[in-house]
Structure 1
Amino acid sequence: MNSLAPTIEAIPLFSLIRDGGWTMWLIAALSVVTVAVVLWKIFSLWQLGVWGGSHSRRALQLWAQGQRSQALAEVKGRPSARARVAQAAIGTTLDPSIDEKTAREETSRIARQTLYRAREGLRALELIATIAPLLGLLGTVLGMISAFQVLQEAGNRADPSALAGGIWEALLTTAAGMTVAIPAGVALSWLESVVDKLQADMEDLATRIFVKSPPPEPKAALRLEAAE
């Protein structure tokens, strides 16, 4: 009795992968890894708050107005990348036991850790964008070798249609490799631009905090800060 449910072999996608040989299976695996890495990277960057920054901007405004304790409270304990850098810069600047050089080094350390987290996974996308078309080309070369071997063995009895079928199956791997490499390269460029924007923002934030000397707070605010 025939089943109504289609078998895996009946699905065109799996038929193409099967016809393309073992390189097609590797390219298919790379496509799955690409999707997983991109989704994970977007979630990771969202957790870092790379598309935010309202609290750090507000803290910078308060810092410029001389409201130092309020500026620190605005970013204290917040997990976003910009807020962590702002907290490190403001906190070390307000600490009388830390000189400016040490404060800058500590802020740079926090920024480097944050950027390392933001760049995690980008190397994997770069590798996929590089090797996917190479795997496709390898599959095509191997397929062409097999097709011409069949042609040589057939001699005068060679069937042009069979040769053409072997050639298009061989070229299939090149197309598949490019299909994976192009989205991986686009995603890599976009994610790198996001991380570069984050780096520029954090550098600007730290520089403006260290360079700008805020006016002293009112005496009432200073007494309240000392009492805390």
Structure 2
Amino acid sequence: MEVIGAGLPRTGTLSLKAALEQLGFGPCYHMFEIYDHLDLIDRWLPGVPDGPAGWERVFAGYRSTLDWPASFFWREQAAAFPQAKVILTVRDASRWYASFRTMIRLRAAAMVQDDPTESTRAFQASFARIQPLLARIAHQTFGSTGPIPEWLPGEDQAVAIFERHTAAVRQDLPADRLLVFDVRQGWEPLCAFLGVARPAGGFPRLNDVDALKHRFGRLEAGRP
């Protein structure tokens, strides 16, 4: 493990995943890896890993991690992989909240359909195995015990949680191990932090809401 993501979802993690893989720090473990490789769920069962060996098993074959469920355990990963650098993705907090709310509502709607296809039912059954972990992560992050998407608090409370999270990561990690990164900054700070050359071409600009719509659209059409 070389790079650990500590940012919350909807902070540019899909764009950063593409960037890290382009720079040679892939494959990158992201929620979309679980969507596309449901067998990865088995690595989280029966419970959260304990100690370096457990985290090595969960992320075997990956050189970087981003997004939930991985990023929720940034402290544990930082301890398990002491040589890895940490990237905290950030963005305007109000825009983050609006984007996060859109994403969870889309995900909730996609997982509950009146007449799902066989592919969708198979996906739902497999993905249900990791739902308790994701619910725990959401509830511990936002202090709510309601079902998806009702567990997301109002904007003021969520923004305060976002800002506390950013402050906690900054406080807990030494400055030389941490990059606080807004993907709008592009290649320069990322490449300087990782000690690699800046590649030709623009920084990846991906939208995980659009990608999520595409992913579930394929399921609805019967194409896993």
TM (normalized to structure 1)? 0.28
Quick check: which one's strand share is greater?
2
TM (normalized to structure 2)? 0.28
Quick check: which one's helix share is greater?
1
